[in-house]
Chains A and B, each alone.
Chain A
Amino acid sequence: MQVFFQTIIGGVSLGAIYALVALGFSLVYRTMGLVNFAHGNVVTVGAYLASTFYLTAKLPFAVAMVVAIVVTAAIGLVIERVLRPLENRDFDLMLIGTIGFGIVLDALVIMIWGATGRAVPSPVQTAPLSLFGLRIRTYDLVVLAIAAVATVLLVLFLSRTKRGAAMQAVAMDHEAATAVGIHVGRSNAIAFMIGAGLAALAGGLVGPLLYVNPALGGTLGIKGFAAAILGGFGSIPGAIVGGLAIGILDSFTAGHFQGYSELVTFLVFTVIIMIRPTGVFGERTVNRA
């Protein structure tokens, strides 16, 4: 029983990170119908920026995170601006463009920070909490809280602000949105910006849990993408549920199937997707590709 609960705890903390990555994927997809294949690499960039501001510039962790999010969001804006001319012409090219951006970012990271990577010490130094023989890292609680706050803010932005409503409108029908005077390009830019900011949040938060190196975003990107699909691509609650589900699933398969856990995780994932192709919350209202 102890193993069971401890496994869930371990899965939830990485699951929250997957959820943040999945949110970024989903936000861009629901707005533009585009899968941003550079998203994983943006996570790496965010992780490096956060660790640089934290370790090298010696800023407090929270400040380092905010600066990293702002800078990474700006990078998101640049990606969108470069790809914008393709938006109404050839969608496949745009897709390939994001893959290209991913490769460029990957190379830039290695050029700037080197290939070796760095360890980020945990900003929360308190010992893990002990509860009925279970151990809960305090930093995990911080990660969960921040992920929850970020999700609530995102939902509020999309449902309560004018700009958010405009983005929803573009997501539903971009031609009709244009007709009523909504600037589609700006809407897309905001989606990319927030997506990149979420990637930086995920990357920065995961740094102290893992090891920041150029390969970091690759793993998180794939798991995050799977999470987004599992929850229903484009759905905000779906991204959260999908992220936590992939995290916990991963944790359990690791315990039961050991060396074959990766295989089993994705087999289970495939079976779920075969039974329910639109994911848990998917309605397929967004389909512009």
Chain B
Amino acid sequence: MARSRPLYALAVLALVLAGCSAPGSDKKDSASDTGPIKIALVDAQSGQLSSLGAWELKGAKLAVTEWNAQGGINGRQIQLDVFDDQGDPTTGTNLARKIQSEGYLAMIGTAESAVTIAMAPTLKTAEIPNITSGQSPGLVAVGSEFLFLNGPTSTTYDETLAKYIVDQQGIKSIAMITNNGSYGKGEHDAFTKALAKRSVTPVADQVVTTDQKDFSAALTSIRQKNPKLIFLGAEEVESGLIVKQARDLGITAPFAGGAPQGTPVFLNTAGAKNVEGTIVSSPYLSNDISPASKKFADAYKAAYNEDAELHGAKAYDGTQIMLTALKTSNVATGKALADAIRATKYQGLLGGFAYDNTGVGIFATSIGKIENGKLVAATG
């Protein structure tokens, strides 16, 4: 007892200190009227999902650079700091606490729904608004008023896709191959639902793991069903490997899917010849869609010497919305900033954003097709 008393006293002291100092210092750090406005970008900069993180960073950085070049917000520069979540939810939750204690006003990222969902409770308690690039319906299910998406959810992607494939093209013999990660699971459920609405049952429904490398078994059973089209719900690299192995196995049916299937990583992994005819549901088909996207693509090319794509565009839109909200709210924090984001109407690269209560701001995608190694808008 005697030994534990000083410890106990220390613990109480620590609690008291934490109780009065933490919120105070938080406020002082973030809401002070001078110094840079601190925004955290959390994304995978290493690991299998790092290409997503790299694109996100490029898009977000471009938006911040533009604002800073025009004098920032209220004369204050914007400081974008990068944190590497390694695509790992546990690392993500640690980072959520870190950006809270270091007094960041807002967060951009992550590109991985699972990581974002893991971080959401901490960010909600800390009242840090977060604009994510994830698209899993699970993000909406979290029900945090501080969580916003910079694109449509899987439901929108897959509903548009099902409409094109089943209603317009009349294809009913469809096989599915999805992974059991957060993204793949979301795609699986959303697409199955969209098919069920049209009373179509997939002829095969294969689930793979996120780091599987050999898909012979799944693909051979799909081949035996001889489908007209294969729906693909997996991230860029895995999707590419699946398509490559499918073609090696002699499967000629075209693939269809969401955002990952429109990326250069998917195309390079599978090989340009193998992805010909892939149907893609995406809110950002190419850089030539509008004057705004052309301007963005030129700036992107000038800054990074590579072609812009969907994920960079999404992050750019999300960051623009965040910065616009910071400006209209006069650099508010917490709930006031979240409300300002919700009130922001923004015409972006992906289309018109108007947030509803679920944190989703955009509800449309377009259908594209890979032709001659390039993603173009589908005709008919």
Q: Does B192 contact A (CB under 8 A)?
A: no
Evaluate whether A6 and B268 lie within 8 angstroms (CB atoms) in the complex, with A128-B250, A254-B209, A259-B208 already known: no
Asked if residues A214 and B47 are in contact (CB atoms below 8 Å), the reply is yes
Evaluate whether A135 and B218 lie within 8 angstroms (CB atoms) in the complex, with A116-B51, A117-B51, A259-B180 already known: no
Chain A's closest residue to B48 (CB) is A215
B245 / chain A contacts, CB cutoff of 8 Å: 10
A255 / chain B contacts, CB cutoff of 8 Å: 216-218, 221
* Binary CB contact string for chain A from 177 to 200 against chain B (1 if under 8 A, 0 otherwise): 000000000000000000000000
Bound form: Cα–Cα A223–B372 in Å: 38
A247 / chain B contacts, CB cutoff of 8 Å: 214
Q: Of B213, B224, B249, which is within 8 A of A219 by CB?
A: B213
Q: Does A81 contact B (CB under 8 A)?
A: no
Asked if residues A262 and B209 are in contact (CB atoms below 8 Å), the reply is yes
Asked if residues A211 and B250 are in contact (CB atoms below 8 Å), the reply is no
Bound form: Cα–Cα A6–B50 in Å: 32
Asked if residues A11 and B54 are in contact (CB atoms below 8 Å), the reply is no
Q: Of B46, B179, B248, which is within 8 A of A128 by CB?
A: B248
A123 / chain B contacts, CB cutoff of 8 Å: none
Q: Does B211 contact A (CB under 8 A)?
A: yes
Asked if residues A6 and B54 are in contact (CB atoms below 8 Å), the reply is no
How many chain B residues touch the partner (CB < 8 A)? 37
Bound form: Cα–Cα A224–B179 in Å: 23
Q: Does A119 contact B (CB under 8 A)?
A: yes
Asked if residues A7 and B217 are in contact (CB atoms below 8 Å), the reply is yes
Asked if residues A115 and B50 are in contact (CB atoms below 8 Å), the reply is yes
Chain A interface SS verdict (over half) = helix
B70 / chain A contacts, CB cutoff of 8 Å: none
Q: 18 A-B pairs, CB-CB below 8 angstroms?
A: A3-B220, A115-B53, A116-B54, A116-B265, A119-B240, A119-B269, A128-B249, A211-B237, A213-B50, A219-B213, A250-B214, A254-B212, A255-B218, A256-B217, A258-B208, A259-B179, A259-B207, A261-B209
A7 / chain B contacts, CB cutoff of 8 Å: 216-217, 220
Chain B's closest residue to A265 (CB) is B209
Tell me, rounded to whole Å, the shortest Cβ–Cβ distance linking A182 to chain B: 41
Bound form: Cα–Cα A262–B181 in Å: 13
Tell me, rounded to whole Å, the shortest Cβ–Cβ distance linking A45 to chain B: 15
Q: Does A230 contact B (CB under 8 A)?
A: no
Bound form: Cα–Cα A213–B54 in Å: 13
Q: Which of B207, B213, B248, B249 has the most CB of A within 10 A?
A: B213
Chain B's closest residue to A109 (CB) is B46
Q: Which of B45, B54, B220 has the most CB of A within 10 A?
A: B220
Q: Which of B25-81 contact A (CB under 8 A)?
A: 44-48, 50-51, 53-54
Tell me, rounded to whole Å, the shortest Cβ–Cβ distance linking A200 to chain B: 19
A250 / chain B contacts, CB cutoff of 8 Å: 214
Q: Which of B48, B208, B214, B269 has the most CB of A within 10 A?
A: B214
Tell me, rounded to whole Å, the shortest Cβ–Cβ distance linking B208 to chain A: 7
Chain A's closest residue to B45 (CB) is A115
* Binary CB contact string for chain B from 261 to 275 against chain A (1 if under 8 A, 0 otherwise): 000010011010000
Q: Does A281 contact B (CB under 8 A)?
A: no
B237 / chain A contacts, CB cutoff of 8 Å: 117, 211, 213
* Binary CB contact string for chain A from 206 to 217 against chain B (1 if under 8 A, 0 otherwise): 000111011100
Asked if residues B50 and A116 are in contact (CB atoms below 8 Å), the reply is yes
Tell me, rounded to whole Å, the shortest Cβ–Cβ distance linking B216 to chain A: 3
